[in-house]
Structures are given as C-alpha cells and as structure tokens.
Amino acid sequence: MKMIISPAKSLNFDSDLPIDINSNPFFLTEAKRINQLLREKSPSELSQLMKISDKLGNLNWERNQNFTTPFNPSNARPAVFAFDGDVYSGLDVYSLPVDKIDSMQNSLRILSGLYGILKPLDLIQPYRLEMGSKFPIDTNNNLYEFWKEKITGFLNEELEEGELFVNLASNEYFSSINSKILNTDIITPQFKDFKNGKLKMISFYAKKARGMMARYLLELEEVTAENLLGFNYGSYTYSEENTTSSYAPVFIR
C-alpha cells in the first residue's frame, strides 16, 4: 500500500524527536537547483511569488540563503516531524508506536514543491514553496512541468502491479502526478461534514481527516480497499448512500 499527503506551510523544527533514524530526499539535486533560483529572489519578490506578507517574505529569504548540503540531523529534520499543519495534526506522528515507523517509511509519501516527493524520514530544511506557485525552472514554466514526470516515474518504480494507492493529498499537490500513466488505480477518499443541513467538504476538517485516515491505515495490520471503508476516526463513517464511485468513497459525520 502507498498513500500520498500534502506538505504543510507551518513547520516545527523544535520538538524533541522520538527516533534518531533519517534518510535523504531522492530528488535533493533537483531541490538544490530550485533553491539556487529562489536565492536570487529578494524578500519582496518572494512575497509577490507566494502571495505572503513582507514578514514571511523576509523569513523565507533567510531560509533560502541558509539552505546548505549535505543534510544531517544538525541542520535538517525528518519531513514527517517537520511539517505541522492540519493534516499532520490528524496524523499525530509523535504518538505513533515506534514499531509502526518502518511501515510508515515504506508506505507514506509526501509531495513537495521543493523536494518533489519525500519519504517520511527524509531530512528537509525549512522552506516554503507551494506546488501551485508560478515559478519557472529552466525550460519549465512552473513546478508542475518540472516535477510531474519525475514524481510519476518515482511512484511507478515503487508501485507493484495492483498495489493499493490512496490519494490523501489536496488537488494542488495531486496535480503534480500524471495519474493517467500511474501503474495502479487510485482511491481518493472524500470527507464531508454537515453544514446548514447539507453535506459539504470543509477544508479545515477535510485536511485533518486526511491525516487521520493516514494514521488509521498505518495502524491496520493489513490494508485493503475493503477495510479502508472501516475508517471511523474523528466520528467519520463510510456512507454508501453518498458514494457514487468505489474509487472515491465518501465519509461523513
């Protein structure tokens, strides 16, 4: 089983790590090239590129200038312990039993505008670069053009024929994959809440639910398309009535 999630804008480089194991990003050379281009941009240009405040523009200018290789535990942090947004609140990796770490490293993948795709324990340095940023790289007009073939090829190398593939990423990040040539079918769970008497996908809750689904799948002894439907964290339950495709099961609460 493989599953993908999005990164987070919020970062945590301060909390104590529960393990001392790490790995290196597969596309570190590409990340260094992107960083070279980012370093040429001023704080105000970064603010304009990513539609962020002047304060964040300055912060990320400093991050870009401080980017250095090789990565090691003193200047970088495993990705899954560094990202700190809603998805990661749902995943709650700091409480994951140590005996599940290997399973997580083997099955979970994190998409990234700077690093392309990451294993959970891959070391990263602080950055901000959303996949949807209109940032040209060499002959590529944007990050999608730069990353799509690379990320899809990476996944196809990993995926066995018919292996379960669960998409828990946002549309912005999932669009960095050429799903038409992926080696297996894709299951994209949908999470909806009642609001004003109607079922809706509410971004904040859906992000956290994606993280909870990842945690649920990591805790299963065996993951199948069938027992995926047993997901019940956060009071969600599978709704056959609201599901129109087995590839997009709907969970409601």
- The per-residue pLDDT of the chain, averaged, comes to 97
pLDDT digits (tens, 9 = 90+) for 41-94: 999 999 999 999 999 999 999 999 999 999 999 999 999 999 999 999 999 999
**What's the domain count of the chain?**
1
Q: Is residue 214 part of a domain?
A: no
Single-letter amino acid code for the residue at 74: S
Does 23 fall in a domain? yes
Q: Which amino acid is at 221?
A: E
**Rounded mean pLDDT, 195-222:** 95
pLDDT bin (cut points 50, 70, 90) of residue 229 is: very high
- Tens digits of residue pLDDT in 27-40: 999 999 999 999 99
Tell me which residue range forms the domain holding 35. Answer: 2-179
**Rounded distance between C-alpha atoms, residue 208 and residue 90, angstroms:** 5
Per-residue confidence (pLDDT) for residue 161, from 0 to 100: 86
Assess if residue 129 is contained within a domain: yes
Distances (CA, A) of 121 to 39, 145, 174: 26, 26, 21
pLDDT at residue 162 above 90? no
